[in-house]
Structure 1
Amino acid sequence: MPTDKTRPMDSGDGKLFRKSFTEDGRGETKPIPEVKSGARYIYYRLYTKDGPLESNHPIYSNDRFISRIASTLVRPPQTAASLTRYLCKIEGLNHRSGVLYQSLSDTAALDDATRLLFRGTSGPGPSDVDPVALIVDTRSAEKRSPASSSAESQELLEWKFQQHYVYYRIYDDDGGTVPKTAFAENNPSLGRLNTLSVPPPHAVSSLKNCIMKVEDPSGNNVQLFEDESSESAMNDSDAITVLSDTFPGWMEDQPIAITYDSGTTIGSADNENPPDIQIRELREALAQSIKELEEANRTHARELAEVREGWNIAKETHEREINEALSTIHQLQEQLEVRSDFPKKIKTTTTLDDGMKDAKWHSIKPGEIFYTDGISRQETFAGGSYLNACYLAMNSFGKQAFVDARDYNMHLATLFLTRTLSY
């Protein structure tokens, strides 16, 4: 039979709590006084940018991502910064990496100096269905202190709250795949994610990161579509109200569609690094040159045995072949090193005859491909006195020189743009 120490009681906010709640909400062993009149509990959830983070001191057995503290434990003046510091302290996190959202649906974090009111039912985190959200960086979460031991772990309550989900299907280059969150035997290609797993601010990017953390696909260029019939992907910055019943994917028979490119580099074809096939071709050419050099050595030995009198001529021929082969090898090695030093690909959009005026500059024409390190420089033309924005680049013939950036700086900015794969 429940005792006075373990019997669920009304906390004043409509939720149950036990008298055995401790100084940090669940985990310490030293009891604290009951919440005084006018004060209350502050409910909170923990997140990284990629999804939810378990609390060291959960209050529910079926949702270990939510916890609460007594408002009297927040140091005055009670601001967003002081609440953040205390939550990070009891959760073993670095407070310098934490930002606080007053509600899960908020689009902007609280300023550290924002004053908070916790008297009665006012202020943030008044209940388990409207908690504050603390977002910390992934490194802080990985280095967090472990939970302290507690005999209360078997006394956790069960949360009677209806779960809501984002339903989705995931596709690679060839079509649909089986998601890791599949839940229906008769529909294995359908996955789902608890809406409370999505960290604020709720946008396409945060939903994408959360799903990718769960699915961890071996590919890149992840995009979200409202459904499988959509012609274009949603923008990462688009807001998505996952706490309502109107967002894409809220109905099981209308899931969102997630696509990714398997075996490709992040981004579009226009901003890739030099293709791996080009590096492979250079290596194959180097191996072929070495093979030819070995063949030349064998030929030379045979010629020496057969024609002694032509030794001097054969020697000269052999040395010339070796020098030519070594020259080819060096050229190929230099190209291989240059390609590694110039990993960015650019395409010109205009005609400039700079190379006719100064040999250290390239002459360019529309559609010509160059490789560069992407570092913006300032150089002068021969006889000139002013600096010109440019890049050090290599053309398809292996020549290194400067290319004028005046006409296609905006094209370069677009070309180097990469999409971040995250989950």
Structure 2
Amino acid sequence: MPTEETRPMDGSDGKPYTKGFSEDGRGGTKPASIPEVKPRHRYIYYRLYTKDGPLESDHPIYSNDRFISRIASILVRPPHTAASLTRYLCKIEGLEHRQSALYQSLSDNKALDDSTRLSFRGTPGPGPSDIDPVALIVDTRTAENRSKASKSVESQKLLEWDYEPRYVYYRVYDYDGGAVSKTSFDEDDPSLGRVNALSVPPPHTASCLKNFIIRSEGISGHNVQLFEDEGSESAMKDSDALTLLSDTFPGFIADQPIAIMYESGTTNGSANKEDPNEIQIRELGEALAQIKKKFEEANLTHARELAEVREGWEKAKETHKREISEALSTIRQLQAKAIEVIVLKCHLLDWSADTRWHSMKTGDIFYTDGISMREKWCRTEFDCYLATNSLGKQAFVGKGDYMHLATLFLTRNLS
């Protein structure tokens, strides 16, 4: 680690330097964007990650670890919350702050809420040193679309970080036994691999470590399990917490590595060469195809139900029309029926004076369609029917009380 002689408390931008380095610790002019840190303020150290692993900083401090950087606390706008710090870190690193998560320490298992208040004065606050930085996790797509405008300050000569790397040691097994690790460092033990503990993004759980090793090894099989050591009887739970910054976590010692086992997914035991991203793309495509299929089935069902409703409506309309037609036909048939008119008492008028009128006597029976009308007899209009007598003669017959007539409406078909 840099000593106090190589790390002044108040040197230009506050970065460590040795003889031969310029004041800003980068071999160049002091960046205008990083003001001198006053005694009442301090630096906030940070590391960048995606869910897949570490992300290089655009403004690294050390040449041998370009994933760590720092900012002056006075540049974070008030109120001093997790959201304010996240926004500024994303600003200077050319990243979108959406879908990001801020951890106060690499050892924290829970991200800070945006509204969490932070203390930027004194050492108890977040990111007090390069060995205890805050961690910012950003979306992978956000990192891919990273803005280039943030690289306005060129890093020329950086210090080397005198820090002993802390590794997580592990041994790789496929379903049949030991397999060659892609991170192997000992030619006499090719199945033994290791990853830098600082490269594992928080939260530090068995699931997070397992996924990081899977990506580091390019494992494309399935049923991947993580065991605490080679002698474990059962796999670790994904939610198991790991203290990767301590001296007690599983895999801390090379002679006692954790074990990761996977099945290749082939019948002959050979390794599956399919890229994990291709597997995810295929699975996503299959899921989308299922959603599309269900959507099309729902559309077909809806169309069928709608057609059935329309068909039922058309049938109902046809039935209604038929019923109306039948009712009208019935009315017409009823109108075609004869109405029998029986003369109960004949009036003294001599109807025979007009041949258009029937001559009536008591007991005569006439047949009419029952349609009332008014016709003249001797210059006087009377209510009457057009009727047919028993001889088949058609003429008018009077109606009304003055005729002393009674009518019996009987359904008798004249045809």
Please state whether the residue corresponding to 1:224 is helix, strand or coil. strand
Q: Determine the structure 2 residue equivalent to 1:11.
A: 9
Deviation at 1:151? 6.8
Look up the match of 2:114.
112
How much does 1:148 deviate?
Answer: 4.8
- Structure 1 residue 33, shift from structure 2 partner: 3.2
Residue 125 of structure 1 corresponds to: 127
Residue identity (%): 69
The change in CA–CA distance for 1:210 and 1:264 in structure 2 (over 3 A counts) is same
What is the distance in 2 between the residues matched to 1:224 and 1:140?
30
**Distance in structure 1 (CA, Å) of the matches to 2:32 and 2:120:** 23
- In structure 1, the partner of 2:199 is 197
Residue type of the partner of 2:9? S
Q: 1:48 aligns with which of 27, 47, 50?
A: 50
Equivalence map 1:161-240=2 (5 Å): 161-240=163-242
* Alpha carbons 2:171, 2:259 under 8 Å: kept: yes
Question: Cα distance 1:185–1:27, how it changes in 2: closer, same or farther (>3 A)?
Answer: farther
How far is 1:152 from its partner? 4.9
8 A contact 1:39–1:119 mirrored in 2: yes
| Unmatched tracts of structure 1, length 5 or more | 1-6, 266-340, 344-371, 378-423
SS in 1 for 2:156: helix
Structure 1 stretch displaced more, 32-41 or 245-254: 32-41
Q: For residue 33 of structure 1, what is the amino acid of its counterpart?
A: P
Residue 24 (structure 2) aligns with = 20
The superposition leaves residues 258-307 of structure 1 with CA deviations (integer Å, 9 ceiling, x where unpaired) of 11111269xxxxxxxxxxxxxxxxxxxxxxxxxxxxxxxxxxxxxxxxxx
Task: State the alpha-carbon separation in 2 of the partners of residues 15 and 94 from structure 1.
Answer: 27
Deviations 1:171-190 (A, max 9, x none): 11222111111011222211
One-letter amino acid of the counterpart of residue 260, structure 2: I
Contact 2:82–2:116, Cα closer than 8 Å, also in 1: yes
* In structure 2, C-alpha distance between the alignment counterparts of 1:205 and 1:75, rounded to whole Å: 35
Q: Is the 8 A contact 2:109 2:204 kept in 1?
A: yes
Q: Offset of 1:12 from its aligned partner?
A: 6.0
Contact 1:42 1:131 in 2 (8 A): yes
Residue aligning to 2:162 = 160
Secondary structure of 1:96's aligned partner: coil
2:216 counterpart SS class: helix
User: Following the alignment from structure 1 to structure 2, what is the Cα–Cα distance between the partners of residues 253 and 191?
Assistant: 12
Match of 1:140 in 2: 142
Unaligned segments of structure 2, at least 5 residues = 268-288, 299-415
Contact 1:27 1:149 (8 Å CA) reproduced: no
Q: Give the paired residue count.
A: 265
Aligned to 1:250: 252
Aligned equivalents of 1:72 and 1:264: distance in 2? 57
Asked if the contact 2:93–2:150 (Cα under 8 Å) also holds between the matched residues in 1, the reply is no
Alignment partners' CA distance in 1, 2:151 and 2:83: 27
Tell me how far apart the structure 2 counterparts of residues 182 and 42 of structure 1 sit (CA, whole Å): 35
AA in 2 matched with 1:10: P
CA distance in 2 between counterparts of 1:229 and 1:49 reads 30
The Cα offsets for residues 123-175 of structure 1, whole Å up to 9 and x where unpaired, read as 10010011001011212122112375567523111101111111011111222
Question: Aligned partners of 1:342 and 1:115: how far apart in 2?
Answer: 45
Which residue of structure 2 aligns with residue 64 of structure 1? 66
Q: 1:168, 1:27 → 2: CA distance?
A: 44
Report which of the two structures shows the higher radius of gyration computed on alpha carbons: 2
CA distance, structure 2, for counterparts of residue 27 and residue 242 of structure 1: 37
Query: Any conservation in 2 of the 1:91–1:147 contact (CA below 8 Å)?
Result: no
Q: Which amino acid aligns with 1:20?
A: D
Q: Is the 8 A contact 2:172 2:260 kept in 1?
A: yes
Q: What CA distance in whole angstroms lies between the structure 2 residues aligned with 1:79 and 1:52?
A: 24
- The Cα shift of 1:56 comes to 1.2
DSSP 3-state at the match of 2:98: helix
Q: Deviations over 1:208-235 (max 9, x none)?
A: 1111111111212211011222221111
2:64 partner amino acid? N
Secondary structure at 1:171's aligned position in 2? strand
Q: Is the 8 A contact 1:50 1:206 kept in 2?
A: no
- Aligned partners of 2:29, 2:98: CA distance in 1, in Å? 23
Structure 2 match to 1:39: 41
Instruction: Give the letter aligned to residue 79 of structure 1.
Output: T
Aligned-partner Cα distance in 2 for 1:264–1:158: 46
Is the 8 Å Cα contact of residues 61 and 158 (structure 1) preserved in structure 2?
A: yes
Native 8 Å contact 2:25 2:159 kept in 1: no
TM-score, reference length from structure 2: 0.58
- SS of aligned partner of 1:153: coil
Alpha-carbon separation, structure 1, partners of 2:66 and 2:52: 17
**Structure 1 CA distance for aligned equivalents of residues 118 and 52 of structure 2:** 27
Residues in 1 aligned to 2:32 and 2:290: alpha-carbon distance in whole angstroms: 62
**TM-aligned CA distance change 1:28 to 1:221, over 3 Å:** farther
Structure 2: distance between partners of 1:55 and 1:97: 18
Q: Distance in 2 between matches of 1:116 and 1:152?
A: 30
Measure the CA separation in 2 of the matches of 1:162 and 1:60: 14
How big is the shift at 1:119? 1.3
Q: Secondary structure at the match of 1:247?
A: coil
Which among 80, 83, 86 is matched to residue 85 of structure 2?
83
Note the C-alpha offset of 1:32: 4.1
